[in-house]
């Protein structure tokens, strides 16, 4: 309908100057006219030029005053013609917002005397605000000052109206020919393809977005790290137990029972089931002894080791708990050197901020062999991290209950132009390895780092809550760029 009207109009007239006026003159919705214009323009039946007009519309507050009168006039009318009314009485007669705005505007206009008692200063007032609002509603144009004062009171807002002016296009015809979109078998058989007009390809049309799953950046970085470990000959450890006993998470690691990390401020303990069902009893005895009185050249911590403390279930605070179980199992076999890694979730009772969550992922690697030295650890770390694109490393002496020596790992960040801490490492203590049953000359070098840190750097995310957790930015999952570790 709108299409016939537009094409018909252009048959006798040069131009439709304004699609808005055209729509109202012919009784169409402007929206429908716009859609037809876009389509006819696409087939070049018409040429269309954008028109934009700023217009003003009433806000909800503006609409209220256009109907009920401005607050200042409502207030004025509530003040008696003679004598006065107390401010409290007056307030009761009006809506709170009308009272508040009315007081200030009527005072400014010098219509009333505002004190404890309110009285009129003039006998008649005009509701100019209401009149102006009604004129805007009718689509009348107002002067600059009037517009500015209504705008300042947030009674009107600007709205951009968009429409078109339209002329004949190169393919103009008074009615649209149906064009074929496909060449069919029937067209070929009948031979009518010779007469048919075919729709042109629109190479600028966007295809529909592909409906597909999207991998989370953490999963992508995890996969790349996995590949690096596998290239280096590491085997993956099974990490499928988030719940661990204190024994495997702490005690077997020679972490004393009074260590602050074992406090409920740092660790999530389970309420149900609160304790583990079984532990390897022979090994528990050896761990107890090494804590209490040492052995293997150590004095131990010299305290009363409590089984109840070791039995407590918790959410593992590091994947080193997994390494411990694996090393214990390895020590039971005739000795073979091993390289193990894991990448999985750990939990800490931390307060959450831009860079910390109560759960995150740890990457952990270890090498177990006879005669390894700190030099081997530094060498392996250099090899590993240079594959992540971090080739400038520095090491700082540190302390872990289960490693000696221990080193924090720093990498020079070219973007931030400073050294940033990226991980922690060390050589597992004899107090940890010997009770497991390893031969004396077996050494284990190990390191750990978070998966989130390199992922945030790689994807340029500066708030961890955009990456992980309930506030995660889903569009980041869908639109994230291809990022590769180790390539600048």
Residues binding ligand PHE (CB under 6 A): 318, 320, 364, 400, 403, 424-426, 446-448
Of the pair 19, 249, the CB lying nearest ligand PHE is at 249
> HSE of 228 in the Cβ direction (CA atoms, 13 Å)?
24
Q: Which is nearer to ligand PHE, 435 or 448 (CB)?
A: 448
Looking at beta carbons only, is 19 or 319 nearer to ligand PHE? 319
CB–CB of 71/65 below 8 Å? yes
**Token couple for 180:** 């074929």
Nearest by Cα to 237 from 364, 367, 341: 341
Tokens of 61: 């507050």
In angstroms, give the least distance from the CB of 206 to ligand PHE. 47
Q: Which CB atom, from 234 or from 447, has the smaller least distance to ligand PHE?
A: 447
Minimum Å gap between C-beta 244 and ligand PHE is 13
What residue number has its CB nearest to ligand PHE?
Answer: 448
Residue with tokens 């990390």: 261
Least CB distance to ligand PHE at residue 282 (A):
25
Is the CB of 77 or the CB of 357 nearer to ligand PHE?
Answer: 357
> Where do we find the tokens 């295809």?
207
Nearer to ligand PHE, 69 or 426 (CB): 426
Cβ atoms within 10 A of the Cβ of 121, count?
14
Q: Which is nearer to ligand PHE, 400 or 480 (CB)?
A: 400
Answer for the pair 352, 465: CB distance below 8 angstroms, yes or no. yes
**Cα(1)–Cα(28) distance, integer angstroms:** 9
Residue 402: CB minimum distance to ligand PHE, A: 7
Closest by Cα among 20, 366, 64 to 161: 20
Q: Render the burial of 306-333: b for 16+ CB within 10 Å, e for the rest.
A: eeeebbbbbbbbbbbbbbbebbbebbee
Strand-pairing partners, residue 340, are 235, 366
Cβ 441 to ligand PHE, closest distance in Å? Answer: 20
If the CB atoms of residues 305 and 402 are measured against ligand PHE, the closer one turns out to be: 402
| Closest distance of CB 426 from ligand PHE, Å | 4
Contact criterion met (CB below 8 Å) for 228 and 388: yes
Cβ nearer to ligand PHE, comparing 313 with 320? 320
**Min separation Cβ 283 and ligand PHE, Å:** 20
**N- to C-terminal Cα separation, the chain:** 59
Q: Give the nearest distance from C-beta 428 to ligand PHE in angstroms.
A: 7
Task: Provide the minimum distance between the beta carbon of 447 and ligand PHE in the complex, in angstroms, as a whole number.
Answer: 5
Whole-number Å distance between alpha carbons of 396 and 374: 13
């Amino acid at each position: 309908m709108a299409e016939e009207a537009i094409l018909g109009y252009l048959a006798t007239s040069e131009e439709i100057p304004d699609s808005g006026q055209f729509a109202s003159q012919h009784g169409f919705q402007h929206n429908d006219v716009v859609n037809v214009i876009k389509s006819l323009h696409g087939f070049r039946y018409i040429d269309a030029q954008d028109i934009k007009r700023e217009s003003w519309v009433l806000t909800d507050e503006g609409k209220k005053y256009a109907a009920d009168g401005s607050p200042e006039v409502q207030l004025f009318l509530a003040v008696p013609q003679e004598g006065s009314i107390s401010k409290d009485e007056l307030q009761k007669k009006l809506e709170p917002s009308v009272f508040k705005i009315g007081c200030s505007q009527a005072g400014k206009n010098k219509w009333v005397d505002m004190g404890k008692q309110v009285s009129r200063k003039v006998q008649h007032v005009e509701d100019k605000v209401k009149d102006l609002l009604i004129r805007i509603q009718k689509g009348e144009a107002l002067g600059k000052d009037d517009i500015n004062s209504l705008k300042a009171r947030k009674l009107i807002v600007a709205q951009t109206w968009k429409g078109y002016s339209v002329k004949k296009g190169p393919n103009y015809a008074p009615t649209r020919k149906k064009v074929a979109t496909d060449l069919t078998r029937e067209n070929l058989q009948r031979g009518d393809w010779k007469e048919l007009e075919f729709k042109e390809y629109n190479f600028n049309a966007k295809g529909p977005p592909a409906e597909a799953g999207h991998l989370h950046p953490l999963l992508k970085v995890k996969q790349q790290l996995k590949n690096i470990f596998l290239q280096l000959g590491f085997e993956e450890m099974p990490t499928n137990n988030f719940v661990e006993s204190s024994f495997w998470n702490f005690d077997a690691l020679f972490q004393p029972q009074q260590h602050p990390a074992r406090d409920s401020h740092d660790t999530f303990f389970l309420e149900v089931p609160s304790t583990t069902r079984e532990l390897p009893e022979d090994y528990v005895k050896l761990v107890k002894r090494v804590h209490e009185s040492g052995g293997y050249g150590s004095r131990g911590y010299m305290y009363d080791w409590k089984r109840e403390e070791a039995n407590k279930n918790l959410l593992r605070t590091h994947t080193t708990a997994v390494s411990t179980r694996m090393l214990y199992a390895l020590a039971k076999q005739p000795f073979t050197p091993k390289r193990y890694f894991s990448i999985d979730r750990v939990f800490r009772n931390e307060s959450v901020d831009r860079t910390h969550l109560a759960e995150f992922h740890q990457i952990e690697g270890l090498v177990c062999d006879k005669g390894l030295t700190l030099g081997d650890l530094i060498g392996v770390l250099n090899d590993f991290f240079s594959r992540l694109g971090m080739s400038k490393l520095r090491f700082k002496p540190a302390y872990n209950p289960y490693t000696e020596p221990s080193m924090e790992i720093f990498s020079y960040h070219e973007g931030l132009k400073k050294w940033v801490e990226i991980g922690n490492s060390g050589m597992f203590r004899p107090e940890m390895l010997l009770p497991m049953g390893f031969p004396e000359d077996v050494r284990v070098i190990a390191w750990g780092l978070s998966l989130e840190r390199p992922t945030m750097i790689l994807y340029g995310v500066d708030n961890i809550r955009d990456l992980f957790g309930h506030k995660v930015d889903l569009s980041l999952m869908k639109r994230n760029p291809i990022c590769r570790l180790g390539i600048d």
